[in-house]
């Protein structure tokens, strides 16, 4: 059964008065059962909830001061958008032969949208992997894991055979902050803001859910046409410029083989579909890959992930990023819901950033390695098919006893 919980009823007036985190916003949160309602109710009505908010703010301010004085980036802390963008630039400068920062568009409030490109070859034609993070702005562990992953890729290339092999064959594009306006808003006005910050004509409510805005059963089950809803799908598919920027980039590139979206929280690893209970054509393979990734992830600290298709694992969700990717030919499409299972929720303490990122990396590598192997197999099959077509044509052209005799072609065919 789906329960709807209005946090405005549960949150005490002392916390609601803190404009930085809540203002006069009423949050509409979908939770899956009575146990989750009890957990959330206990959290928001406890002194611990206010303490978590205060502690998070104090830690960020303290970390900013330390980083400013030491000119370093602490991957075990949460950061502002400006700090994340600066670190992306630093990585690109430190590893110019491997990494670059690429602007793919701008947000509704005109903030740049940057991705990190990791490549061992020039040009844009190689098969590629897309790693997405921070599409829901309040899920800070996803942005933190994203920027940690960027550093991990450049640090391990040439040392870790797995990531070295992946990058020798494919490019990786990593978007650590997919919703920059929302992310800034969570750090200046409302810590639990989820959506974009676009204007909705005729409504006082701001933004749309950027993970209900993709052209995959748009406006279907699991979305709302009410601009005030947390799952408002937007006026039309790709109405949110943050979504459209990614869509345009991926389509123009034309050779993405894998799309992974990092969210929080719940410790889930999911694959299409979210908009229907019907199995995706590749569901069996996707499930097998996801289970191996979850096992690899758990091998570090024992963190257990539930695996399955989005619609039946959590709830129906139309217009999602991974459903769009899958429906547009990107076979390996997955969503990670990172730590935890609800004790801290969106307010995961900073001391869990690195443990979360490290275990997630093991899951990501498992999926990317499978993608590389699968792509190589498909390319080999394509090459074999092309060779067979040439052989058949030559065979038909050949004349007994004359030039073009197919004997050596037959030998080559069997050798191949």
What are the residue numbers of the active site?
A: 337
Contact 301, 359 (CB under 8 A): yes
Q: Are strands 332-338 and 28-31 parallel, antiparallel or unpaired?
A: unpaired
Nearest-angstrom CA–CA distance, 355 and 42 = 26
Nearest-angstrom CA–CA distance, 272 and 322 = 7
Non-local CB neighbours of 263 within 8 Å, separated by 6+ positions: 135, 136, 139, 142, 211, 335, 336, 337, 338
Nearest-angstrom CA–CA distance, 328 and 326 = 5
CA distances from 298 to 302, 314, 327, 366 (A): 4, 20, 30, 12
Q: Are strands 112-118 and 28-31 parallel, antiparallel or unpaired?
A: unpaired
Nearest-angstrom CA–CA distance, 94 and 154 = 9
**DSSP symbols for 29-91:** EEESSHHHHHHHHHHHTSHHHHHHHHHHHHHHHHHHHHHHHHT---TTS---HHHHHHHHHHH
The radius of gyration computed from the CA coordinates of the chain, to the nearest angstrom, equals 24
> Coil, strand or helix: which one is 97?
coil
Nearest-angstrom CA–CA distance, 73 and 85 = 11
């Amino acid at each position: 059964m789906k329960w709807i919980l209005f946090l405005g009823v549960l949150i005490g007036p002392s916390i609601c008065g803190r404009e930085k985190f809540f203002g006069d916003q009423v949050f509409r949160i979908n939770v899956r059962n009575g146990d989750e309602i009890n957990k959330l109710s206990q959290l928001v009505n406890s002194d611990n909830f206010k303490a978590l908010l205060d502690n998070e703010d104090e830690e960020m301010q303290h970390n900013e001061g330390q980083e400013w004085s030491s000119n370093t980036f602490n991957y075990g802390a949460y950061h502002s958008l400006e700090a994340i963008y600066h670190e992306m630039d630093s990585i690109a400068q430190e590893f110019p032969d491997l990494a670059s920062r690429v602007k793919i568009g701008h947000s509704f409030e005109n903030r740049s949208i940057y991705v990190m490109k990791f490549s061992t070859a020039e040009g844009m034609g190689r098969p590629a992997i897309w790693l997405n993070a921070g599409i829901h702005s309040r899920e800070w562990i996803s942005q933190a894991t994203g920027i940690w992953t960027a550093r991990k890729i450049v640090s391990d290339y040439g040392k870790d055979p797995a990531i070295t092999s992946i990058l020798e064959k494919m490019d990786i594009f990593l978007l650590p902050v997919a919703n920059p306006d929302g992310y800034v808003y969570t750090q200046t006005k409302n810590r639990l803001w989820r959506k974009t910050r676009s204007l909705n004509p005729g409504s006082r409510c701001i933004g749309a859910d950027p993970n209900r805005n993709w052209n995959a059963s748009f406006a279907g089950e699991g979305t709302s046409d009410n601009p005030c809803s947390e799952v408002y799908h937007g006026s039309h598919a790709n109405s949110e410029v943050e979504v459209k920027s990614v869509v345009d980039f991926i389509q123009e590139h034309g050779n993405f083989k894998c799309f992974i979206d990092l969210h929080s929280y719940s410790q889930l690893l999911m694959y299409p579909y979210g908009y229907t209970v019907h199995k995706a054509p590749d569901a069996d393979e996707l499930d097998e890959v996801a289970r191996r990734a979850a096992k690899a992830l758990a091998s570090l600290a024992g963190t257990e992930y539930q695996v399955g298709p989005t619609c039946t694992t959590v709830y129906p969700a139309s217009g999602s990023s991974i459903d769009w990717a899958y429906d547009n030919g990107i076979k390996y499409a997955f969503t990670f819901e990172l730590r935890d299972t609800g004790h801290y929720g969106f307010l995961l303490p900073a001391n869990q950033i690195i443990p979360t990122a490290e275990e997630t990396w093991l899951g990501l590598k498992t999926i990317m390695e499978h993608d590389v192997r699968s792509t190589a197999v498909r390319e080999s099959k394509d090459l074999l098919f092309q060779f067979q077509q040439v052989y058949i044509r030559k065979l038909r052209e050949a004349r007994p006893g004359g030039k073009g005799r197919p004997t050596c072609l037959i030998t080559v065919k069997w050798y191949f």
